[in-house]
Structure 1
Amino acid sequence: MVLAGGLLAGCGDSVEGHPIAVRGPVTPIVSAEGGLAKLLPDPSQFPTRYTALVLPADTAKQAADDVNGYLPGAQVDPSGCVPATPTAGPAVAVGTDDEARATLTVVLTRSDQPLSALRDQLGQCGTVRLGDSGLTSVVSTRLNPAPPANADDTLAFERTVAAPNDPTGSQRTMQTLIGQIGEVRITVSYMTSGSGKDGEGLDTLFTTALRKVRKG
C-alpha cells in the first residue's frame, strides 16, 4: 500500500514502504523573538512624518537597549534597578524623523512578570547611575499617569539619559508608553536628542500597536 503525502498512520497500523525523514521538526521551534515580529505594526501604520522599518533580529536588541536607556553589561547603581530580562524578544519597528532628530519605536517582548512589577521598580529607581568602561551616565525616570487603553495594564514614564562629564551637555529624552496583553509587553517610545515632543504620534502608534497585538 502506498500512502499519499500527509496521510498519517495510527499507532496500531502497519505501513508498507521505506521510512523517510520527517520534513521539519515534530515540535515547532520557537525563535529568539518568540513569534513577535508578526505582531508589530506595519511601517505604513507609523505617523506620516516618520520613515519606518522593521529591524532584523541582529539589530533589534541594540535598538531596544537604546530605547530603554540601559547599556548591556553596565554597572547599575542601585543594583535593584537592573531591568528584568524578557522571556522572548525583542521584535522592533522604528520610525525616524530626521528633521526633529527623533525616533518613534515599537518594542515587543514576552514577560513572565505583570506590568505592576515594572511600575514598582520604576517608582524606586528615579535616579540611576550607570558605569561602563570608565564612563558614567545618569538615567532619570519620572512616572506619568497610566494611559487608558485596551490592555490588561498600562504605564507611562519620561526618562532622560545624560553623561555628567560630557562637555557638550547632550542628553537623550524618552517619552514611553507600555501596555501588557497576556504575556506580550508592548513598549512605544519617542526618543530625541533635541527638545521636541510628539505626544499625538506616540499615542496614535501606541493604540495601533495594542490593536495589532489584540488581533494576533
Structure 2
Amino acid sequence: MVRRSRPVRRPSRSVQVLTAGVLAAGAAWLSGCGSTVDGVPVAVERSPVGERIDAQLITLLPEPSQFPARYPAVVLPPEAAAQAVGDLDGVARGATVEPADCAPPEQQYGPDHTAVAVGTSDADRATLTVELVRTRSPLSDLADQLRRCGEIRVTGAGPTTTVTTTVDRAPAVDADDALSLRRVVAPDVGGAGLTQRMHTHLAQIDDVRVLVTYMIFGDGPEDEAALRELFTTAVGKVAAA
C-alpha cells in the first residue's frame, strides 16, 4: 500500500474530485433551488505528476553513511551515472531493443535530471544503487510498459542478451505511487555467474522518481533487508524535501 504521511502540498486526486463535486452540487442547488440540473459531473484535467521539487537531485540522495554498512557507497558523476542506469535497465546506450517500443524511456543526465549513488559489497559481487530521476511521466506509464514488455532482446552494445522483467507490489512508503520489479539479464553466450539479477523498488514523489536496486551476479542470495532499508531511507529523504 502506498501512503503519504508527509505534509501534503496539494489535495489528493480523490479529495479534489470530491471537492469539485460538492461545489458543483452546491452551485446547482443555489441557482436551481431544488430544480433538476442536466449534465454529468466532469473532473478537471490535471497534470499527470505533482509539482516540481526545487532541490537539486544530488542533495536528495542518501548520504554514503546512510547506506547499509556492508555497502560502502559513492556518488557517481554524470557519465558514470549514465552507464550505471544502462546496467540496471539491461539496455546499454546505443543498444537495439526488440520489440522496439519496449526500449526504456529516454533519459537526460546531469545534475538537474539524474543523480546516482552506488554501494558495493565486494564479498557478494552485489550492489545497492539509488537513482533519482526528474520526470513528468507518471509511474503508471512505466508500469504499463513493463507489463507489456516482459521479455526483450538487446543487441548491438556488448553481448546479446535476453532481459526478463516482472512487476510486483512495492513495500508501503510515503509516496504518490510505488511499484517493484524483478529483472534478469541473461547473455546468449557466457559462463556461470554472468547472469545479472536485480530487484528494484520504485516510488514517485511529485516530479522525482526514486529507484533503489539490489543487483547480484549468478545465483547468490538476495539481501532483501538491505534493499528495503535503503528504499525507505531514499524515499523519506525525497518526501521531506
TM-score range with shorter-chain normalisation?
Answer: 0.7 to 0.9
**Contact 1:173–1:193 at 8 Å: present in 2 too?**
yes
| SS of corresponding position for 1:166 | coil
Shift of 1:39: 0.5
Shift of 1:168: 4.4
> In structure 2, which of residues 141, 150, 155 is the aligned counterpart of residue 131 of structure 1?
155
**Residue segments in structure 2 that go unaligned for 5+ positions in a row:** 1-54
> In structure 2, which of residues 66, 69, 72 is the aligned counterpart of residue 45 of structure 1?
66
Structure 1 CA distance for aligned equivalents of residues 78 and 151 of structure 2: 31
Shift of 1:167: 4.4
Cα offsets for 1:48-96 (capped at 9, x unmatched): 1111111122311111211221111111101111111235532111000
Give identity over the alignment, percent: 46
Higher share of residues assigned helix: 2
**Residue segments in structure 1 that go unaligned for 5+ positions in a row:** 1-33
Partner of 1:142: 166
Structure 2 CA distance for aligned equivalents of residues 213 and 85 of structure 1: 22
| SS of corresponding position for 2:164 | strand
- In the alignment, structure 1 residue 36 sits paired with structure 2 residue 61: no
Higher share of residues assigned strand: 1
> In structure 2, which of residues 74, 78, 82 is the aligned counterpart of residue 61 of structure 1?
82
1:79 partner amino acid:
A
| SS of corresponding position for 2:124 | coil
Partner of 2:198: 174
- In the alignment, structure 1 residue 117 sits paired with structure 2 residue 141: yes
Structure 2 CA distance for aligned equivalents of residues 127 and 70 of structure 1: 12
- In the alignment, structure 1 residue 75 sits paired with structure 2 residue 100: no
**Contact 1:86–1:112 at 8 Å: present in 2 too?**
no
Structure 1 CA distance for aligned equivalents of residues 126 and 192 of structure 2: 18
Structure 2 CA distance for aligned equivalents of residues 49 and 169 of structure 1: 21
Partner of 2:114: 90
Shift of 1:170: 2.0
Q: Quick one: higher RCO (CA 8 Å, sep 6+), 1 or 2?
A: 2
**Contact 1:81–1:121 at 8 Å: present in 2 too?**
yes
Number of aligned positions between the proteins: 183
Shift of 1:144: 1.5
Structure 2 CA distance for aligned equivalents of residues 104 and 134 of structure 1: 23
**Contact 1:75–1:130 at 8 Å: present in 2 too?**
yes
Structure 1 pair 101–110 and aligned structure 2 pair: CA distance change class (3 A): same
Structure 1 pair 151–41 and aligned structure 2 pair: CA distance change class (3 A): same
Shift of 1:169: 6.4
Partner of 1:197: 222
Structure 1 CA distance for aligned equivalents of residues 80 and 156 of structure 2: 21
